[in-house]
Every structure is written in C-alpha cells, then in structure tokens.
Amino acid sequence: MKEKKELQSTPSIWRNSRFTRMFAAHTAASFGDWFDAIAIQVLVAYRWEADPMLIALIPVVMALPGLLLGSIAGTLADRVHKARLMIGCDAAIALLTLAILAVPGPAWLLPLLGLRAAAGVFQMPSQQGLTRTVVASGDLFRATSLNGLVNQASKVAGPLLGAMTLTVLSPQACIILNALLRLCSGLLLWPLRGIGPALASTEQQAVADELPGKPESPRTATEDDDAKMQEKPAHAPRFLSQWREGWAFLWRTRMLLHTLIFGLFGLIAILMIDYQFPTLLRVLAPGNESLLGWLVSAIGAGAVGCMLVLNRLNRISAGWGLGGGYVLIGGAIAALGWAQPGTGLLALLMIGAMLGVGNGLYIITQNYILQAKTPADMVGRVFGIQSTVIGAIMIVSPLAGGLLIRIAGPGTAFVWIGMTVGLLGLAGLLLQSVIWREPLADSSLTTEQHVDLA
C-alpha cells in the first residue's frame, strides 16, 4: 500500500492560503478573548469586589468542560470536518458572550462562562488537527510558533485596547467586541469547511493509490473531501476505540508522556494563582484598574519577543524550552510576591516581561513536541487528552490557591508558588537527559528531524 503524499514546504508559509485563513481567524478570536477576559476580571475583582475564593471559581467553572469533554472533543475532532466544528464553536461562543450582557452578578456569570468554555474545548483540538493537516512537516515549527505568537501578541494589544475601551466606555463594550470578533473568525474559516478528517483522508488516499489504471475525474478539492467522507471503509474504528487508541499512543510514546507529566506538575502550582493577579494588584495599587491591563500586556510582550527569536532560530531543545521556561515563570511570580505597595510601574512591567519570556519558551516547546511527534490522524486526540488533564488540575488548583491566599495573603502565596515552579524548572534543566532520555543535540526540535513513533 502506497503512503499518502506529504505536503510540500513552501518558500514562505504565507503562500499557504489555507494556513493564512486559519491564522487570521485565530488572530480575531484571540484578540476578542483578551478584550473579554480583562473586562470580566475588572468587573468581578474591582466593581463587584469579589473575594479570592469567588474569583477562584471562575477558572474552575471554565475548566470543568475540559475535564468532562476534553478527550471526547479530541476524538471527535479526528472524525469530522475540523473547520466546520470550529465554525460552529465560534457561533456558539459569540451567542454565549452576548448573553453575558444580561448577567446581574457572579452567580449568573459562572454558568455562562462554563458553557462558553465547553464550546472552546471542542475548538482547540480541531484547530491543532487542522494545522497539522494543511501545513507541511517542514513548515510545522513556524506554523506552531506563529499560532503561539498570536496568543501572546493578543496579550499585548488586547489588554491595552481593552483598558482604553474600559476608560472610555464600559466592560459591556469589550464583551460585545469579543462576540463580533468571534463571528469574524467563523466567516474566515467558512471556505475551509470542505477539508475532511485526516484519518478518513489518509485511508481513502491509500486505497485509491492501489487501484490500477483508475481514471481521474476533474473534481474540486471540496468534492474530493466530501466523497472521502461518504466512502468510509467498513473497518473504520469506532469512536470509543479511537479514544482508547489516543490514550494508548500517548502512554507508549515516551517523549509525549514525559512532556505532559512535567507540564502537569508545573501547572498545578501556576494555576493556583493564574486568576489571582487582580487580588495581588489590589494590594500593590488599590483602585488602579488599568494596572492589570499593563501587566498582562508586559507578559504578552515578553512572550512575543521570545517567540520571534524562536521563529528565526527554528529550533529549541526540550530541556531548555520546558525547564528554562519554568525557571523564568517561577522567578517572575516570586518577584511579584516580594513587591511592596508603591513599587514602580517600570519594575512591575519588567517582571511581567520576564514571565512572558518564560511563558513563550514553554508554550512553543510543548506545542511543537505534541504536534511533531504525533501523526496527523491522532493530533486531535492528543490535544484533547491534554485538555482533559488541564481541566482536572483547574478543578482543584484555583480553589487551593484561593484558600492559600486567604490564609497567607497574596504576596506570600505568590512567593511560595513562584519558588516551587522555579525549582521544578531547574530540575528539568539539570535532569533533561533523564526526563526526556535523549542527547541534547538529538532532542533539538528542528523541522528536519524525523521522529520514531514506535
């Protein structure tokens, strides 16, 4: 049986029209999310003056769908038209975002945020799987870097523009803007709706290549994809079987398993304070609502700078990317905890930029490992499993963080958590050959590397 032809790398990834559409849609959605996130945090922390435990419930209700639906969403993303699923999620998120406008208080806000997060759970593995489908292997690192770059760039412009909108208008205006940008994302993805599942496409192409002398008909790409969907082989595995295959593949692929486990321990600590920055900033600068936007923008700027450098280098080692990222993240969190009321804005922004550099290092390295070492027909399932793991952590960690802040205070809690993450990162740097069991040169994540998935 002949192998399916690989996509060919292009001189510039921007010549890949499918990727540019995905990139534009991802940009619109990411910027909208940050407008919305700043507005909701200001609304809850400053205007409703919620206590740390109530703030901690926000990430919990947003994580619960990931825990319950993450693996299912990943398996579904490998079976259906990914772009169609993403378009449906964009529409659902837009409607649920507009519904937030009618919320009178936190008790009504939490369920809506949970429902909106459920739609996002189905979108994320679809996006990762579609990227793996439309981008050649040689361009995968740059595509991953650019997608991560958008996430971090939105942290720069999104919070700043959101803070300006809050000054002139209101949180409701930011919420409306997010809904509109989500609709734009769906419209940009509309021409890609005919791209079929990677699993079905691979199997159908392999069967078609074996048929001798089969005449080719002048069908369009969309018609070919639709035909492949309608002509599923009888031996196609069932949904539950595919779900089990995803977990089994992850368990036997050492690099993926160790990467997720290493990230798991760091996230347990980081997510304890991820939504508590407004609680700390209320102590450092009472009444200064715009400080949250400035700090988040500095974090995004640091990550953007890091990702631009990585995109030019086109390589990073697993130990330095994951371990070094955690060292910088932990050091920055501890430094924020040590800060005192009256600390200058410049010092806080420098700490935020340091946190962003670490964040950029870690995110790009982890996402590239997960994509490069996973076959195209399993990408959705692997990222779905990751969502499930993160969802499980976010059920417990934010509540534990809120309790810790109540007992010890925000400054002390940030110092303890930052030191924990920093020590974990240092262990990753020192023990990288043991954790990932590859020589440093061989573990470099270059686009030319061929990975043994056995």
Q: What is the pLDDT of residue 222?
A: 40
- Residue at 225 is within a domain: no
Q: What is the pLDDT of residue 422?
A: 93
The answer, yes or no, to whether residue 93 has pLDDT greater than 80, is yes
Per-residue model confidence as pLDDT tens digits over 11-20: 677 777 788 8
Residue 160 — very low, low, confident or very high, per pLDDT cuts 50/70/90? Answer: low
* 95 or 257: which leads in pLDDT: 95
Per-residue model confidence as pLDDT tens digits over 131-144: 777 777 777 777 77
Going by C-alpha positions, the residue among 247, 43, 35, 7 that lies closest to residue 130 is: 7
Residue 221 — very low, low, confident or very high, per pLDDT cuts 50/70/90? Answer: very low
- Residue at 216 is within a domain: no
Q: What is the pLDDT of residue 248?
A: 79
The answer, yes or no, to whether residue 25 has pLDDT greater than 50, is yes
What is the rounded distance in angstroms from the CA atom of residue 347 to the CA atom of residue 345? 5
Q: What is the pLDDT of residue 230?
A: 43
- SS3 of the chain: the string is CCCCCCCCCCCCHHHCHHHHHHHHHHHHHHHHHHHHHHHHHHHHHHHCCCCHHHHHHHHHHHHHHHHHHHHHHHHHHCCCCHHHHHHHHHHHHHHHHHHHHHCCCHHHHHHHHHHHHHHHHHHHHHHHHHHHHHCCHHHHHHHHHHHHHHHHHHHHHHHHHHHHHHHHCCHHHHHHHHHHHHHHHHHHHHHHCCCCCHHHHHHHHHHHHHCCCCCCCCCCHHHHHHHHHHCCCCCCCCHHHHHHHHHHHHHHCHHHHHHHHHHHHHHHHHCCCCCCHHHHHHHHCCCCCHHHHHHHHHHHHHHHHHHHHHHHHCCCCHHHHHHHHHHHHHHHHHHHHHCCCCCCHHHHHHHHHHHHHHHHHHHHHHHHHHHHCCCHHHHHHHHHHHHHHHHHHHHHHHHHHHHHHHHHCHHHHHHHHHHHHHHHHHHHHHCHHHHCCCCCCCCCCCCCCCCCCC
Per-residue model confidence as pLDDT tens digits over 375-397: 766 776 777 777 777 777 878 88
pLDDT > 70 fraction of the chain, expressed in percent and rounded: 76
- Residue at 152 is within a domain: yes
Residue 180 — very low, low, confident or very high, per pLDDT cuts 50/70/90? Answer: very high
- Residue at 275 is within a domain: yes
For residues 203-210, average pLDDT: 38
- Residue at 378 is within a domain: yes
* 64 or 161: which leads in pLDDT: 64
Residue 404 — very low, low, confident or very high, per pLDDT cuts 50/70/90? Answer: very high
User: Positive or negative CA dihedral for 32, 33, 34, 37?
Assistant: positive
Going by C-alpha positions, the residue among 415, 145, 154 that lies closest to residue 299 is: 154
Please, are residues 33 and 150 in contact by the beta-carbon 8 Å criterion?
A: no
Q: What is the pLDDT of residue 389?
A: 77
The answer, yes or no, to whether residue 162 has pLDDT greater than 50, is yes
Domain count of the fold of the chain: 1
End-to-end Cα, the chain, rounded Å: 19
Residue 10 — very low, low, confident or very high, per pLDDT cuts 50/70/90? Answer: low
* 398 or 1: which leads in pLDDT: 398
The answer, yes or no, to whether residue 152 has pLDDT greater than 70, is no
Minimum mean pLDDT range among 35-44, 238-247, 415-424, 425-434: 238-247
* 126 or 413: which leads in pLDDT: 413
- Residue at 3 is within a domain: no
- Residue at 224 is within a domain: no
Q: What is the pLDDT of residue 327?
A: 94
Q: What is the pLDDT of residue 18?
A: 84
Residue 6 — very low, low, confident or very high, per pLDDT cuts 50/70/90? Answer: low
* 46 or 207: which leads in pLDDT: 46
Q: What is the pLDDT of residue 330?
A: 94
Mean pLDDT, rounded, of the chain: 75
- Residue at 395 is within a domain: yes
Q: What is the pLDDT of residue 202?
A: 42
Minimum mean pLDDT range among 169-178, 332-341, 442-451: 442-451
**CATH code, 411:** 1.20.1250.20
Q: What is the pLDDT of residue 11?
A: 62
The answer, yes or no, to whether residue 445 has pLDDT greater than 60, is no
Per-residue model confidence as pLDDT tens digits over 297-338: 788 788 878 878 877 776 677 778 888 899 999 999 999 999
The answer, yes or no, to whether residue 453 has pLDDT greater than 60, is no
- Residue 106's domain comprises 14-189+240-435
Q: What is the pLDDT of residue 239?
A: 59
Q: What is the pLDDT of residue 326?
A: 92
Minimum mean pLDDT range among 131-140, 217-226, 337-346: 217-226
